[in-house]
Structure 1
């Protein structure tokens, strides 16, 4: 995986940022494993396509309340009807995007590369405020507030109606941070954020820390090797939240107690998905891995997608769905990882994990294509 360092002001002097050259870049000499004939165990019909314009990580689609929220790199944000693909609204925020989209069904928030948090409601700009640091993580819109995880590992809360800053929680930052989407979600009445290698529970009303759970330890002989950040999507089942520490570990946390249930070494850079009994992830070499949710023991792993730069997975029902860097969508059995189906898009990389809206499976590509299938 190629990683390049950039010196950039994040509102704190001396902070450096690591930016990935692609979410899970593949060494140039390692060719993607050839694909076998597509499986046809599970049938599906492509029901619509749309286009949002060329995009990039960490911009990823999100589904809320029957609407699909998507964005492109130049600053166009759209809400699509998840059943038809038609625009509910589409608007430009007037600047390139660095993170987004976060939404609650009516409001949507994005962050520009100029560090502006922009809140939209029904397709119209409601307010924008300048953040004290860059962010690569989609805002969380919940409870009439917009929460932001910034690259200096601070968390901020803003009033959803006015944009007024309500509170900021900061912690001492290491000299390096990861230029990749992190962890930010609501679990009951707790705001859960990934701060360095710690999954941290915050009081959403004031930002006070309620608990911290360390998923991975910093190792190595230099600052780059010691970098540990929580990345990507997480798997939540009730109070159990499972997350990935970049290129170090995967693990699950009991958020009611604020304790680590288990942590296992893993070498991936994308998020996780799962269900009540298993957790699924993709490793940097293209291996797809399943762990037992209760104890972290390996359930299965498949390596036929080596070096195909897989997305984070989507676990739903009896299947696990992943995308690759050639626009393929692979549908695997949750029981053993065997092939069940494969769908093609426009040949460009799939962005982020596939998403589900009701019974509709949806992906967004780097070229801006949005594709939807319904199981037969």
Structure 2
């Protein structure tokens, strides 16, 4: 039986929760007691940003990150609403209520959009209308990847499944069972050239998207410890990709980078975080469990800088954006920082509920989504 640990916006959720429909457990972890967030200094006002639009999607969850693609932002709400929004104006291109609760955000190639429901159904849409739905054998908490006229799903039983985007026919399955615990949060699934890259346990694997055969695998972290929780090393989204370099975080154990042409591990460094990373050609950025922001040199993984000014503020994965580093927190604030040293440039406000997923950039819009479903877009100035 697979057991799932849920790490919500408070990073570590205590208690054991029965999930009756799937007969799975959400086990508690041995993480630290929630600490008082660091007090913030007055706003620095060393940068400015203009709110250009906002919309509402209803209650959200950590796995429902906005998706930016070709000038649109694809949004989901946990009660079943999916929308494609114009990134410049904020107007709906289309909006559809699927009538069932969702467990993932949306994946899309601009033609086919796909989500997974809490009932483990994969649903595909086109032009705002449902195209097909198929039943999965396991839950998923990672947004489907839509690419090459296929829909790829990373399931909670550590399998990767490919479907025909037109009719939902199952094309192949690659199963890599591992430890009995899995994370109830977004994992790693992306396309790099003609390779499908997925996170399975503590490994990045490269698959042939046509038939699912393994091309390479690279271990970012290995299981350690004396119990199931301590041995958990699943990779968590988001990731940083620059060319053939993909950098990712292994849950609460390491950050590392892989050459996806060869499958060679470039470096791996110990790191205690539970959210993904982002970066640019020079740095990889991440937030640790205690709220320290970290920057590693992309080439070799050496520490570039760290700041503890936002400790215990329940930070999202960051977004590297030119000279800016953008991160949301558990009080609904968006922090704009200097990528060079992490110093504060300014802060932006939302509806006051936690920001659960990493900010995204779509066209001119810097977009975040809150737990209460508020979606906010700014243009930096």
Q: TM-score range by the shorter chain?
A: over 0.9
TM superposition shift of 1:92: 1.0
CA RMSD of aligned residues (A): 1.8
Distance in 2 between residues matched to 1:257 and 1:10, nearest whole Å:
41
Give the structure-2-normalised TM-score.
0.93
Q: Does 1:279 align with 2:288?
A: no
Distance in 2 between residues matched to 1:332 and 1:138, nearest whole Å:
28
1:203 corresponding residue in structure 2: 208
* Inter-CA distance 190–344: structure 2 relative to 1 (3 Å threshold): same
* Inter-CA distance 359–163: structure 2 relative to 1 (3 Å threshold): same
Q: Does 1:322 align with 2:333?
A: no
SS of the counterpart of 2:105? strand
Which of 151, 164, 184 aligns to 1:146? It is 151
Which of 53, 56, 60 aligns to 2:58? It is 53
Distance in 2 between residues matched to 1:180 and 1:77, nearest whole Å:
19
| Kept in 2: contact 1:149–1:184 (CA 8 A) | yes
Which of 93, 100, 103 aligns to 2:98? It is 93
| Kept in 1: contact 2:87–2:364 (CA 8 A) | no
2:33 corresponding residue in structure 1: 27
Structure 2, unpaired ranges of 5+: 1-11
Distance in 1 between residues matched to 2:111 and 2:39, nearest whole Å:
43
- Render the CA deviation track for 1:246-275: whole Å, top value 9, x for unaligned: 000000001111011000000101011000
Distance in 2 between residues matched to 1:363 and 1:50, nearest whole Å:
11
- Superposition map of 1:1-376 within 5 A: 1-5=12-16, 18=26, 27-28=33-34, 30-376=35-381
- Render the CA deviation track for 1:261-306: whole Å, top value 9, x for unaligned: 0000001010110001110000110110000000000000000111
Structure 1, unpaired ranges of 5+: none
| Kept in 2: contact 1:19–1:178 (CA 8 A) | no
Distance in 2 between residues matched to 1:357 and 1:194, nearest whole Å:
25
TM superposition shift of 1:8: 5.9
Distance in 2 between residues matched to 1:116 and 1:257, nearest whole Å:
35
Give the structure-1-normalised TM-score.
0.95
Distance in 2 between residues matched to 1:19 and 1:161, nearest whole Å:
38
| Kept in 1: contact 2:257–2:266 (CA 8 A) | yes
- Render the CA deviation track for 1:169-212: whole Å, top value 9, x for unaligned: 00132211111110000000000000000000000000001101
Distance in 2 between residues matched to 1:18 and 1:230, nearest whole Å:
18
* Inter-CA distance 272–359: structure 2 relative to 1 (3 Å threshold): same
Distance in 1 between residues matched to 2:32 and 2:317, nearest whole Å:
15
Distance in 2 between residues matched to 1:165 and 1:4, nearest whole Å:
37
| Kept in 1: contact 2:152–2:162 (CA 8 A) | yes
SS of the counterpart of 1:41? coil
Distance in 2 between residues matched to 1:37 and 1:369, nearest whole Å:
25
Distance in 2 between residues matched to 1:84 and 1:181, nearest whole Å:
28
SS of the counterpart of 1:77? strand
How many residues of Structure 1 are paired with residues of Structure 2 in the alignment?
A: 369
